């Protein structure tokens, strides 16, 4: 019964969509075809209307779900908690002085500083190593696998790795078991001030390294063999070739991966929510924002300020993207 309900809902949802495109097309054909049913293909009206019919649903969704909300969030950030009284910069000033917010910004900066660079470095190393050995394809598959796992699923996996039992009992978390193997004291890793941030970052690095690796691996293959051969003949060793020839050759790809991961890091939410919910000084902007969306019935003003912070951090990347796109279009 449940399954049937689900199936029905799915069919209706998709059916409505199909109906729109076939329906409008049918109408358009009826209106603009002559009495024999043949299209007067050169009709100016027909050609002027049709692109908008193709585009309309897309523009509707983009408008309602992205363009309007960006404007509205910007506006709400200057209004009070219910969004009906203009308060100027009050929300921003509140945020500036709020210790929780400061903590979140600081942590986000840490995340930004470490996660993208570690993903890029590990991605480069694994890509190069995997291309060098015979079982490289399998290795890449396995390192890439966490990409398919949800942040929450990954949090469960790693919470189990970080599990802590008292020093006298047997550890069931892998990390503490290893630590005890070396004769050190087991730790409650995710409550360890300051360092716990890094234990959360590990989860994202674990997920994103595979992405970096796959992209780099493809880019490295694009480097002409002659270039590498020339360097080898000149007596360069493999490490020199990797550092001085390969990486500079794929620098634009490195930048793309870097910015992609940076954006993911800016929005990081699920891992913090699932692991600590911002306790023990691990708060980040997206989690704090989610909190304020519902705290005390929801404060749209303060929540918007936090969303704006993430948006402001993204804007340089957005501009860079658009400029790159324009450049490519001119080449086309």
Partner 1 sequence: MISLYIKRLSFGQVLSSFLLLFLVLLWIVPTVGLFVSSFRDKDQLAITGWWTALSTTERNEFRRTGTKDDQVQLGEKYIISGNFFDAGGKIIQTFSTSFKNLTEYNSGETAKFKDGSLFTLHADGEYQWVSNTPFKHKRGKRVFYVAKVPPTFSLDNYREVLKAEGVGQSFINTLKVTIPATVIPIMIASFAAYAFAWMKFPGRQFLFVTVVGLLVVPLQMSLIPLLSIYNEIGNYFGVSAKSYPGIWFAHTGFGLPLAIYLLRNYIGSLPREIIESARMDGATHMQIFSRIVLPLSVPALASFCIFQFLWVWNDLLVALVFLGKKDDQIVLTSKLRELLGSRGDNWEILTSSAFISIIIPLIVFFALQRYFVRGLVTGSVKS
**Smallest distance from partner 1 to CB 302, Å:** 10
Q: Under rule CB under 8 A, which residues in 281-300 are in contact with partner 1? A: 286, 289-290, 293, 298, 300
- Read off the DSSP letter of residue 162: T
Judged by DSSP in three states, 267 sits in coil
Q: Under rule CB under 8 A, which residues in 98-127 are in contact with partner 1? A: 122, 125-126
User: Given the rule CB under 8 A, which of 92-100, 109-117, 169-177, 186-194 is the region that contacts partner 1?
Assistant: 169-177
Contact map string, positions 175 to 194, toward partner 1, x by CB under 8 A: --x-----------------
Helices 99-132, 300-331: inter-axial angle, 10-degree rounding = 30
Judged by DSSP in three states, 83 sits in coil
Contact, 119 vs 205, CB < 8 A? yes
CA 196 vs CA 177, 193, 203, 204, 260: distances in Å = 18, 6, 12, 13, 24
Q: Hey, which bits of the chain come out as E strands? A: none
Quote the Cα angle for 274-202-121, to 5°. 145
- 13, 17, 19, 20: CA torsion to nearest 10: 140
- Tell me whether residue 90 or residue 159 sits nearer to partner 1 (CB atom): 159
**Smallest distance from partner 1 to CB 170, Å:** 6
- Tell me whether residue 149 or residue 192 sits nearer to partner 1 (CB atom): 149
- Tell me whether residue 98 or residue 321 sits nearer to partner 1 (CB atom): 321
> Which residues contact residue 309 at a Cβ distance below 8 angstroms, ignoring those fewer than 6 apart?
95, 105, 285
> Which residues contact residue 36 at a Cβ distance below 8 angstroms, ignoring those fewer than 6 apart?
none
The one among 19, 31, 64, 109 contacting partner 1 by CB under 8 A? 64
Q: Under rule CB under 8 A, which residues in 197-236 are in contact with partner 1? A: 206, 209, 211, 214-215, 218-219, 222
CA 237 to chain centre: 36
Half-sphere exposure of 178 (CA within 13 A, CB side): 6
Contact call for residue 13 and partner 1 (CB under 8 A): yes
Size of the site for partner 1 (CB under 8 A): 117
Q: Under rule CB under 8 A, which residues in 230-269 are in contact with partner 1? A: 238, 252-253, 256-257, 260, 263, 266-267, 269
Contact map string, positions 43 to 62, toward partner 1, x by CB under 8 A: ----xx-xxx-xx-xxx-xx
The one among 27, 89, 113, 172 contacting partner 1 by CB under 8 A? 172
- Tell me whether residue 16 or residue 99 sits nearer to partner 1 (CB atom): 16
The one among 161, 190, 201, 241 contacting partner 1 by CB under 8 A? 161
The one among 115, 118, 124, 143 contacting partner 1 by CB under 8 A? 143
Contact call for residue 9 and partner 1 (CB under 8 A): yes
């Amino acid at each position: 019964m449940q399954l049937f309900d689900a199936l029905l809902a799915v069919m209706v949802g998709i059916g409505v969509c199909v109906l729109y495109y076939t329906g409008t097309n049918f109408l358009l054909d009826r209106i603009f075809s002559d009495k024999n049913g043949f299209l007067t293909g050169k009709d100016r009206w027909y050609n002027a209307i049709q692109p908008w019919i193709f585009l309309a649903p897309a523009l509707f969704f983009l408008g309602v779900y992205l363009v309007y909300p960006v404007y509205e969030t910007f506006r709400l950030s200057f209004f009070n908690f219910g969004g009906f009284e203009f308060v100027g910069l009050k929300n921003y000033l509140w945020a500036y002085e709020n210790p929780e917010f400061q903590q979140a910004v600081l942590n986000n900066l840490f995340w930004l500083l470490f996660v993208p660079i570690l993903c890029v470095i590990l991605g480069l190393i694994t890509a190069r190593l995997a291309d060098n050995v015979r079982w490289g394809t399998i290795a890449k598959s396995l390192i890439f696998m966490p990409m398919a796992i949800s942040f929450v699923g990954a949090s469960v996996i790693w919470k189990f790795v970080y599990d802590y039992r008292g020093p006298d009992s047997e550890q069931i978390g892998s990390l503490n078991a290893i630590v005890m193997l070396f004769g050190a004291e087991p730790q409650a890793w995710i409550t360890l001030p300051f360092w716990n941030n890094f234990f959360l970052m590990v989860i994202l690095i674990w997920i994103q390294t595979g992405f970096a690796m796959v992209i780099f691996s493809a880019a490295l293959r694009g480097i002409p063999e002659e270039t590498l051969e020339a360097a080898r003949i000149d007596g360069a060793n493999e490490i020199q070739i990797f550092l001085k020839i390969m990486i500079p050759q794929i620098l634009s790809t490195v930048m793309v991966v870097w910015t992609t991961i940076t954006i993911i890091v800016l929005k990081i939410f699920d891992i913090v929510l699932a692991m600590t919910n911002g306790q023990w000084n691990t708060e980040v902007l997206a989690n704090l924002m989610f909190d304020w969306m519902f705290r005390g019935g929801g404060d749209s003003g303060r929540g918007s300020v936090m969303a704006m912070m993430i948006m402001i951090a993204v804007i340089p990347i957005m501009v860079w993207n658009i400029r790159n796109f324009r450049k490519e279009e001119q080449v086309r």
